[in-house]
Structure 1
Amino acid sequence: MGRIDYLHDPDAPPANSVVPSVVAFVQDAGGRILMIRRSDNGRWALPGGGHDAGEYIADTVVRETKEETGIDVEVVDLSGIYTDPGHVMLYDDGEARQQFSLCFRAKPVGGEVRTSIETTEVRWVTPADLSKLDIHPTMLMRIRHALDETRKAPYIG
């Protein structure tokens, strides 16, 4: 399934859904960031996805990171909440989703890097090399916020 991101674009379709989702900002001991190349739009992003009924939001972070990258993580804290109604994602099936994303910092605790049906590449990237990748501006903002360790939330549940 393909996806087009609209950011404050007057030609964007009106949103017809909102799905709570997460992204995981995972750094290894060397400071490299776990990044995926998405199969739906070809862009680089943090791993993540939609929250399922019956799970804690931190469990969504762990599940989605494992599914998309093969890496097991432990959630550390929350670095940002993103609900910009001007960011709409249009999918091939006609869904026009308003962004509703929580970005969590996490640390790797196991696993082996691998791709999935949702990822065409998975790699560890140094912060200095981020500018070499095609990353949507809203994802880059999440990464910058997560790199700022003063951005913390008191509760993850």
Structure 2
Amino acid sequence: MTRTDYYDDPAAPQPNSLVVAASTVLTDDNGRILLLKRADSGTWALPGGGIEFGESLAQCAVREAREETGLDVEVTGLVGIYSDPRHVIAYSDGEVRQQFNVCLTARIVGGELRSSTESTAIAFVEASRLDQLPIHPTQRLRLSHYQQDRATPYLD
């Protein structure tokens, strides 16, 4: 299934769905951030995805990290809550989703790094290289808030 991200675009289709999703900032011992190159858009992003019935937000973050990276993680904190209605995602099956994402931090506790069918590459990236990568503005905002080491989470 393909997807098209719209941000602050008056030509974006009207949303017909709202799904809570979790994304996770994972770093290695050198402080590099783990990013995936999305197979559907070619942009780099944090691991994450939609919550499923019967799981908590933290469980969603742990599951998505494992599915997309091969790593076992433990949630450690909150970067922010992102619900900007200007971010709309249109899927090829007709779903048009208003994004609602809770971005968490987590530490790696096991597993082996590997990509999934949802990505074409996976890498730990130095913060100084983030500006060189194609990253959607909403992902860039989450990364920026993480790097700011804010005293309180971002709430939108």
Q: Normalized against structure 2, the TM-score is what?
A: 0.94
Partner of 1:141: 141
Correspondence 1:18-97 to 2 at 5 A: 18-97=18-97
> In structure 2, how many angstroms separate the alpha carbons of the residues matched to 1:151 and 1:49?
26
Q: Is the 8 A contact 1:113 1:123 kept in 2?
A: no
Give the whole-Å Cα distance in 1 for the aligned partners of 2:149 and 2:73.
Answer: 18
Unpaired stretches in structure 1, ≥5 consecutive residues: none
In the alignment, the residues of structure 1 paired with residue 150 and residue 129 of structure 2 have an alpha-carbon distance, to the nearest angstrom, of 23
The alignment yields a C-alpha RMSD, in angstroms, of 1.1
Partner in structure 2 of residue 12 of structure 1? 12
Q: Secondary structure at 2:62's aligned position in 1?
A: helix
- Separation in 2 of the partners of 1:47 and 1:38? 10
Aligned residue for 1:114?
A: 114
Give the distance between the partners of 2:139 and 2:121, measured in 1 at CA: 17
CA separation in 1, counterparts of 2:65 and 2:152? Answer: 20
- Paired residue type of 1:91: Y
1:84-135 CA-to-partner distances (Å, cap 9, x unmatched) read 1111001111111001000001111111111111111111001011112110
Q: Return the structure number with greater strand share.
A: 2
2: CA distance between counterparts of 1:35 and 1:29?
15
The whole-number CA distance in structure 2 between the counterparts of 1:152 and 1:74 is: 20
Give percent identity, aligned residues only.
49
Q: CA distance change for structure 1 residues 115 and 136 in 2, over 3 Å: closer, same or farther?
A: same
Deviation of 1:149 after TM superposition, in Å, equals 2.1
Distance 1:152 1:70, change over 3 A: farther
Separation (CA, whole Å) in 2 of partners of 1:50 and 1:98: 12
Corresponding pairs, count: 153
Query: Partner of 1:67: helix, strand, or coil?
Result: helix
Offset of residue 151 of structure 1? 4.2
* CA contact 1:80–1:151 (8 Å) conserved in 2: no
